[in-house]
Homo-oligomer: A and B are copies of this chain.
């Protein structure tokens, strides 16, 4: 695509000096140059910038560096001015505002280079681990203010550290781009999220737009602007829109699918002509399954597991090769696939005691499979997966598959027509597509169709800081999305039931998956 946009938000320019033949006002002179560079009709300038302008222009001999931004209505905003030859780098801050973890990334607004990153737990975890618990906390007196303060204080403290580490002043940060789910966005803005989770599920705002960072309480340059990514609704947040921007879905000629396997199951299908999204309704099954079971990645957490189908030897890899103390989401999917391949679970995901041997035990009436015995684990206790965990995983994978089937079906596509399948989210980054295909969580596409995006929310916010065309693209993406309400009707439930087998009742959909045993998958009990 050709673009008339300025190459970055930092523009070096030389204005013509005033004369009797050109006695334009200082601000108009600058605005006119900025309008041209930004291809906009108006440029807003704060009073405090205007107050310094006449002295600065003359002192700098009309050669200057402007940090600019655009609002969602398409007007330009003057954010900062410096001498053209200033040695001070102008930074932007990209913020991935996760429910569980928050990531900050410093970006050089001119070169696009990254200048450090920090990951930290969302301090709101102290109030509640998930979205629901935090929204309920708002009912308590001062609850909203407390949640808002927790994230703002956390951001400021981490930002300060990040700047210190990079020998940068927070005053050098002029632009922020922030993406989170709808609830996290509301808590960041101090907006009451209580109606997000109550029928008919109403957010306070879908398009927060561009605001002053200081109005949010974020301690960067006092004139800095923050773009908070818009939501489509209560269950489709700015993090997903950042992901769509990051994978250029809005500019692709071919139809791609983007799946974010995070706290919720969120799926977008589309291309430059149309985009369709769904999320939420079937999410709780997935959330209760994979995510809750999986431990946050860290030393000693199992992330890869294979089982020799003959010897049934478990080959386990832990992060940092420490003794095992948990298993993360990708490990659970690997485990389920390996158990299925080695016929230790059946097509319903039920543990087969005779095949599991001494790894199997009944505890409190619940089947357990020992992954790592107490004497080898990092906790001194058996590291187990239970039948309930596996049942939950089956429901989750079935929900994911059904959502994918539903959304492609809605636009008249076969899943097999998909050529590009983006997997977003830190969880998604570690999933082995072969394992996920084996359990029938995702369609049986050629492996090179699958592309892990990593933290696409952070990627999208970074893009906004380095490519002025992206503000308009974000607005366009938000406005273009058709949000598909997942009607959990009989049809959906039939598809869901069929997907609750490994890999599926219809094994023809998964030609690459070898179904062990007697092929009973085609004749479920």
Contact = CB atoms under 8 A, between A and B. Distances in A.
Interface of A: 18-20, 22-28, 41-42, 44-47, 50-51, 53-55, 72-73, 75, 189-192, 194-195, 199-209, 211, 215-216, 231, 233-234
A202 B50 contact: no
Contacts of A204: 25-27, 50, 53-54
Contacts of A51: 189-192
B189 A47 contact: yes
Closest 9 A/B residue pairs (Cβ): A27-B205, A42-B73, A25-B206, A25-B203, A20-B200, A23-B200, A18-B202, A26-B204, A54-B204
Contact of A25 (B41, B189, B205): B205
Contacts of A23: 200-202, 233-234
Contact of A50 (B50, B191, B195): B191
B47 A206 contact: no
A213 to B, nearest CB: 11
Contact of A215 (B47, B191, B209): B47
A56 to B, nearest CB: 11
Given A24-B202, A42-B73, 17 more contacts: A20-B200, A23-B201, A25-B204, A25-B231, A25-B233, A26-B204, A27-B204, A44-B73, A44-B209, A47-B208, A47-B211, A50-B189, A51-B190, A54-B194, A54-B195, A54-B202, A73-B75
Contacts of A28: 205-207
B206 A19 contact: no
From A44, A50, A216, name the one whose CB has the most chain B CB atoms within 10 angstroms.
A50
Judged by DSSP, the binding face of A is loop
Contacts of A72: 42
Contacts of A54: 191-192, 194-195, 202, 204
Contacts of A41: 73
Nearest to A205: B27
A202 B62 CA distance: 14
13 contacts: A18-B200, A25-B204, A26-B195, A26-B202, A28-B207, A42-B72, A45-B205, A47-B190, A47-B216, A50-B205, A53-B204, A54-B191, A73-B75
Contacts of A190: 47, 51
A74 to B, nearest CB: 9
B18 A207 contact: no
Contacts of A189: 47, 50-51
A202 B47 contact: no
Contacts of A27: 204-207
Contacts of A53: 204
A190 B203 CA distance: 40
Contacts of A42: 72-73
Nearest to A231: B25
A55 B138 CA distance: 13
A200 B206 CA distance: 48
From A25, A46, A189, A191, name the one whose CB has the most chain B CB atoms within 10 angstroms.
A25
A54 B203 CA distance: 9
Contacts of A233: 23, 25
Contacts of A25: 202-206, 231, 233
Contacts of A202: 18, 23-26, 54
From A51, A72, A211, name the one whose CB has the most chain B CB atoms within 10 angstroms.
A51
Nearest to A19: B200
Contacts of A203: 25-26
A369 B67 CA distance: 65
A202 B211 CA distance: 31
A504 to B, nearest CB: 31
A408 B377 CA distance: 97
